[in-house]
Structure 1
Amino acid sequence: MNLPPLPPFDHSSALAKVRAAEDAWNTREPARVSLAYTPDSVWRNRDEFLSGRQAIVAFLTRKWQQEQGYRLIKGLWSFDGNRIAARFAYEWHDQRGQWFRSYGNENWEFAPDGLMRRRLASINDRPITVGERLFHWPQGPRPEGHPSLDDLGL
């Protein structure tokens, strides 16, 4: 199975890969998201280390049960060959209704077939008020034309 765009990346294909990842994560469908990763993909997410699609599905299922109302924006930071660095922000609320904006950076490494074989993510959470929220689109992918991280000053 190939998952275009394939490495090596140029600016256009790296942007497309970042947007595809954002759109997939905004579905909040763990099994679907996991298909973008190699069967033995290795992750570091905050302080968790995991490997393989089953672990990815379990992780994302748990994540999105805790992080409700999740909406994500990713931006390309850099790319070279089969690697992409992205930055992101996402908003979510916990079960008590407290909103957060989480900021982070990801380093991605891709196999020749375009599946991600390594994902390293560093993330920080900041409590926000309802009035500070910036991501208001309906659940699902960010609409075309919605401001980017740069446009929002994030």
Structure 2
Amino acid sequence: MTLPPLPPFDESAAITKVRMAEDGWNSCNPEKVAQAYTPDCRWRNRAEIFRGHERVIEFLTRKWARELDYRLIKELWAYHSNRIAVRFAYEYHDDTGSWFRAYGNENWEFAENGLMRQRIASINDVPITKQERLFHWPLGRRPDEHPGLSALGL
């Protein structure tokens, strides 16, 4: 299986890859998201370190069971050859109705077939009020006309 664009990345390909990842994660579909990774992919997400599709699906299933009304924006930070660095923010609420905005950075490494083989994420959560929310599109893909992180001052 291949998932274009393929490395080595130029700026346009890196931007496309970032948007594809954002769209996948905004689907909140663990099986769909896992398809973008190599079967033996390595992840570090906050303090969790694991490997492989099954663990990705388990992790994302748990994540989206507790992070409700999840909306994410990713933005390209840098790229080189088969690596992309991304900054992101997402908003969600928990089962008590408390809202949060999570800020983070990801380092990605891709296999020759365009699947991600390594994802390293550092993330911080900040409590926000419902009125402080900035991500107001319907659940799913962020509309093209919705501002990105830089335009929102994040």
The SS at the match of 1:71 is: strand
TM-superposed CA distance for 1:49, in Å, is: 0.4
Which 5+ residue runs of structure 2 have no aligned equivalent? none
TM-superposed CA distance for 1:145, in Å, is: 1.1
The SS at the match of 1:39 is: strand
Equivalent position amino acid for 2:121 in 1 = A
User: What is the CA–CA distance in structure 2 between the aligned matches of 1:10 and 1:128, rounded to whole Å?
Assistant: 36
Aligned to 2:139: 139
The SS at the match of 1:88 is: strand
Aligned to 1:2: 2
Aligned to 1:33: 33
Equivalent position amino acid for 2:27 in 1 = T
User: What is the CA–CA distance in structure 1 between the aligned matches of 2:50 and 2:104, rounded to whole Å?
Assistant: 18
Q: Structure 1: which 4+ aligned runs deviate by more than 3 Å? A: none
Report the aligned-residue RMSD.
0.3
Matches within 5 A, 1:15-54: 15-54=15-54
TM-superposed CA distance for 1:112, in Å, is: 0.2
User: What is the CA–CA distance in structure 2 between the aligned matches of 1:5 and 1:86, rounded to whole Å?
Assistant: 16
Percent identity of equivalent pairs = 64
Which 5+ residue runs of structure 1 have no aligned equivalent? none
TM-superposed CA distance for 1:76, in Å, is: 0.1
User: What is the CA–CA distance in structure 2 between the aligned matches of 1:2 and 1:44, rounded to whole Å?
Assistant: 23
Is 1:123–2:120 an aligned residue pair? no
Return the TM-score normalized by structure 2: 1.00
Aligned to 1:152: 152
Query: What is the aligned length?
Result: 154
TM-superposed CA distance for 1:146, in Å, is: 0.5
